[in-house]
Amino acid sequence: MDRQKVIFHIDVNSAFLSWEAVHRLKDLGDTVDLREIPSAVGGDRATRHGIILAKSVPAKKYNIQTAEPVADALKKCPELVLVPPDQKIYSRYSHAFMEILREYSPDVEKFSIDEAFVDMTGCQALFGEPVACAHTIKDRIYHELGFTVNIGISDVRLLAKIASDFEKPDRVHTLYRTEIEDKMWPLPVSDLIYVGKASVRLLHSLGIYTIGDLANSDVDIIRAHMKSHGEFIWKLANGQDVSIVETKKRENKGYGNSTTLAFDVTDAETAKQILMSLCETVAARLRADHRKAEVIAVTIRDTDFRNRSHQMVLPSPSNITTELYSMVCLLFDELWDESPIRLLGVRCTKLYEETAARQLNLFDTVDYEKQSRLDKAMDDIRAKYGNDAVKRASFMDQGRKK
């Protein structure tokens, strides 16, 4: 039996929009398919706030971009149909999607809510050759769940992901190591996974414009300019990847969240509003996993793509939002040099079980037990009614100012 490694990467096409469209057609009886008209998920038409999270193919004709402000998208297409995100719908369809994949292999790695890696090595006797099997899975998902997927096939995990990004939607593509010279090397270097805008500019300055240019460059020169990340993308351009499909979730060694901003932030008040939002997300994830963190860090990237980070040890391990936020503000004030901000990030490390005792401080008058109960009550409300069910007053004030 041929034991060549066979890995599928399966990615839902415009997941949030597709799932919303299917929900409206199947569950609500709508007659208009959001995927067939200019539409998008995200933001609020009334306030013109928020960003675009997903868009339909017809919306692309108006050059509407994922992550752009809703106000800008509406200028391009005043008739754009906007729908709010709904995590419950996404979770339901994601679960059904993953359950189908598990019928074809026990080795399924949920990579995100709308994509997965599946190790299909040795499954040919059961399900046929890889391309035929991929079409079977793709068509079954469409007929049973109502949305389309792309499937990339390779003998290397990350090449399978690159293959799934070839022509969309509703396609199957292969990208084995023997095919990279013909299928991958002619592509622009920006198409390579993990190569961002800053890396593209640096590679262009070195005369590297295609993935083939990168693959055939001297790795020592790439490493000298881009350090370990440069060596990593050089290996990927050459089809070198030893990562495996991981069916068991790794234990978190840290919790973090960051956001690339839709506009340059130049004042501390706005930056701290964003940091509060990041702290809420990170703290909620800590509480959901019954963990506390003792070290917290802030990252700032300015418009010149310079990254600066600063961290500190908390007086006691914590997962209380306001406590983490107060330390984050101290770090931000020490770190920021008033350069326009492009990205903000918060990360917690050095984790403990939630039962870890708090170090008592004679001069500390904060009622941490009360704050902890408040956080958990907010978590419960949001889990039941959605993330927008309860908001901090500071966010409401911010909305009125605008």
- Report pLDDT for 357: 58
The pLDDT tens digits of the residues spanning 8-67 come to 999 999 899 999 999 999 999 999 999 999 999 986 555 556 778 889 999 999 999 887
Contact yes or no for 214/179 (Cβ under 8 A)? no
Does the domain spanning 184-237 belong to CATH 1.10.3720.10?
Answer: no
Are 49 and 399 in contact by the 8 Å Cβ rule? The answer is: yes
> At residue 308, does pLDDT exceed 60?
yes
CATH 2.60.40.2300: does it fit domain 1-179?
A: no
Residues in the chain: 402
| Positions marked catalytic | 115
Q: Give me the helix-helix angle, 368-385 and 321-335, nearest 10°.
A: 100
DSSP letter at 69 equals: B
Tell me, what's the pLDDT at 189? 96
Q: Token digits for 218?
A: 């001297």
Dist CA 316 CA 371 (whole Å): 15
Look at 164 and 86; give whichever has higher pLDDT: 164
Domain residue spans of the chain: 1-179, 184-237, 254-401
Rounded-to-integer distance, Cα 136 and Cα 153, Å:
14
pLDDT at residue 397 above 70? no
In terms of Cβ atoms closer than 10 Å to its own Cβ (0-12, 13-18, 19+), residue 382 is middle
Contact 107, 16 (CB under 8 A): no
> pLDDT by residue (tens digit) across 81-112?
999 888 889 999 999 999 999 999 999 998 88
- If one compares 212 and 370, the residue with the highest pLDDT of the two is 212
Q: pTM of the entire structure?
A: 0.66
The pLDDT of residue 146 is above 80: yes
Measured CA to CA, the distance from residue 118 to residue 109 in angstroms comes to 6
Per-residue confidence (pLDDT) for residue 402, from 0 to 100 = 40
Percent of the chain with pLDDT over 70: 87
pLDDT digits (tens, 9 = 90+) for 220-278: 999 999 988 899 999 999 999 867 777 766 566 789 998 888 778 899 999 999 999 89
Q: Where are the beta strands (DSSP E) in 307-384?
A: 307-318, 341-353
Q: In what order do the strands lie in the sheet with 54-55?
A: 54-55, 39-41, 81-83
Residue type, 28: L
Is residue 392 scored above 90 in pLDDT?
no
> Would you identify the CATH topology of the domain 254-401?
Dna Ligase; domain 1 (3.30.1490)
With the C-alpha atoms ordered 123, 125, 129, 135, is the resulting torsion angle positive or negative?
Answer: negative
